[in-house]
Amino acid sequence: MTGFRLDRKAFVLLAGLAVFSVVIFAPLPSGMNEASQRLLAVVLLMAIWWMGEATSISVTALLPLVLFPTLGIMPSSETAPNYTNHLVFLFLGGFMIALAMEKWNFHRRVALRIIAIIGTDVRRIILGFMVASAFLSMWISNTATTMMMLPVAIAVVRQVASEASLRGRRDSDSARLVEDNLGIVLMLALAYSASIGGVGTLIGTPSNIVFAGFYNSLYPDYGEIQFIDWILIAIPVVILFIPIVWVYLCWFVPSIPLRDIDFGASGAKTIRRELRGLGPMTGPERTVAIIFLLTVLLWLFRNPINVAAVNIPGWSSLFGNPAYLHDATVAMAMGIILLLLPVRAGQCSTIGDPDARTILDWPTVQKKVPWGILLLFGGGFALADGFGTTGLDQWIGSHLAGLTALPTVAMIVIICLAITFLTELTSNTATTTMILPIIGAAAVAANYHPLLLMVPATMSASFAFMLPVATPPNAIVYGSGWVSIARMSRAGIWLNFLGAVLVTSAVIALVRNLST
């Protein structure tokens, strides 16, 4: 008879239930009401299951639908609407646009054009890959961006290694050195820039949507975080971080100076060959390009913009109730249009979908949209609603009042580093879902604007560069064969600290100004 063996997932499940039971039946803490205590038990249960990956994060996200009404925290009629928050549909609409871009290869054409414009030598080709990956990750998932760019990057490395010489040498050792060094630099550049670029827009990574939902729910008096609000905060960080990472990777990571690689036109030839393989733009691809540009413009100019003495009116004022219109309205309108626009016979090519009848079809949406992430959003928004309804956020804030003793910069740096290194081992979406309400309560307790601490926590969740498990882009390039865990860790640990410094500086300069 074999003995009972408790595997890791079962242990995490039981540990979460044990903590849940202890908190439920513990004496009521001073100043806390019963509903807050029960919510705290649910929060800890979900945190343990999420962090320990006891089950799918989507399954855990559904717990509030059962536990909130059962424990008397919130009725079902108030819990369920959190799963249809308008930000859920902002992400859904944005993902539908991304699917159309992928279907007709518009994203690949944009990436290759950017690389062709920027790249002329080894280091500039690396920068071209980084700029292209960062830009695409603002609009499509960083996973899809990395997967799409990886074959092109591998082809460039191998082509350069086969034709390049090192300091005038042309032998097997020099070719091996070129391939090894260019391989690791380009692979890390691809992964890191995809993660950094995802920070740039609300739809770039799920963590940003989680932040926006929590902030809007917990602090409605401060106004809603809109698409352009996040861009004004995040794009400067992306613009600064990409060249910093580029310099670091090109000058400090390789064992040989990249400037010593003489590769002629081999890298440029590979890019041109890839572009020729795409052929001329098809009708559907042009349509996707127009829809994409129109979407971005509608997001940016939905509300009035005041720049110095210039006042740019928002297009939403053309309607009777401008407040009824959100960024999600734009995203879903464009997603629906893509599902309805027909494709004329002869417009398709084998690159896209030769049998397509519309620009985007519903079976593709059903198959490729990450529905589990949408449920995760809903579970997170339900928790945020519970924090405000029960007063748990105020109770936590009252016990964090001592944080006022810390200097602002020190507090932000600690948050950045803690979230960054925690995300090395856990899902960044799950991490932000669990930590942001506490971070917001800490900010209020310390008499700070919530943005001052919530923004750096959100950004830092995407800036984990050390381990393959930290982000999907890290895992993808790890599989290339050029990147070992040791080499990724040595390169990434310094970027973790650089990211914390950059985010702290940007938040002090931008968020403090925005929040006054």
Query: 69 falls in which pLDDT band (50, 70, 90)?
Result: very high
Q: Which two tokens stand for residue 180?
A: 């090894």
Give 266-296 pLDDT, tens digit per residue.
667 777 888 888 888 888 999 999 999 999 8
Question: Which is more confident, 115 or 260?
Answer: 115
Output the pLDDT for position 8: 81
* Higher pLDDT among residues 161 and 384, named by residue: 384
Q: Please state, for a pLDDT cut of 90, what percent of the chain lies above it.
A: 33
Model pLDDT for residues 118-148, shown as the tens digit of each residue: 876 788 889 999 999 999 999 988 888 888 8
Quick check: 275 and 116 in contact, CB under 8 A?
yes
pLDDT of the residue at 1: 42
More confident residue, 169 or 250: 250
What value does the mean pLDDT take over residues 349-374?
79
pLDDT reported for residue 408: 84
Distance in angstroms (rounded) separating the CA atoms of residues 211 and 457: 9
What pLDDT score does 354 carry? 61
The pLDDT of residue 402: 67
Sorting pLDDT into bands at 50, 70 and 90, what band is 64? very high
* Nearest to 495, CA basis, from 434, 389, 417: 417
Return the pLDDT at 76. Answer: 94
Joined tokens for residue 452: 């001052």
pLDDT of residue 341 exceeding 70: yes
Average pLDDT over residues 102-126: 84
Provide the Cα torsion 56, 62, 68, 74; round to 10°: 140
Torsion sign over Cα 389, 391, 396, 402: positive
In 3D space, the residue among 178, 147, 144, 140 whose CA is nearest the CA of residue 161 turns out to be 178
Residues 495, 474: contact at Cβ < 8 Å? no
| Residues 460-488, mean pLDDT to the nearest whole number | 87
pLDDT of residue 263: 61
DSSP label at 54?
S
- Percent of the chain scoring above 70 in pLDDT: 90
pLDDT over threshold 70, residue 404: no
* Tens digits of residue pLDDT in 151-184: 888 888 887 777 666 555 555 567 778 788 888 9
What is the predicted pLDDT for the residue at 37?
A: 93
Q: What is the mean pLDDT of the chain?
A: 85
Residue 218 to residues 33, 61, 242, Cα–Cα distance (Å): 19, 19, 32
Span 41-51, pLDDT tens digits = 998 998 888 87
- Looking at the DSSP bridge assignments, the partners of residue 310 are 307
- Tell me, what's the pLDDT at 516? 40
The predicted structure's pLDDT at residue 369: 87
Paired strand residues for 261: 166
Distances 234 to 20, 79, 197, 238 between C-alpha atoms, Å: 37, 31, 9, 6
pTM over 0.75: yes
Structure confidence at residue 353 (pLDDT)? 57
Judged by average pLDDT, the poorest of 280-294, 352-366, 462-476 is 352-366
Predicted confidence at residue 158, as pLDDT, reads: 81
Kindly state the average pLDDT of the residues 227-232.
88
Q: What is the pLDDT of residue 428?
A: 80
* β-strands 305-307, 261-262 pairing: unpaired
**Confidence bin at 26 (pLDDT 50/70/90):** very high
Confidence (pLDDT) at 122: 83
Residue 19's pLDDT is what?
A: 94
Residue 350's pLDDT band, with cuts at 50, 70 and 90, is very low
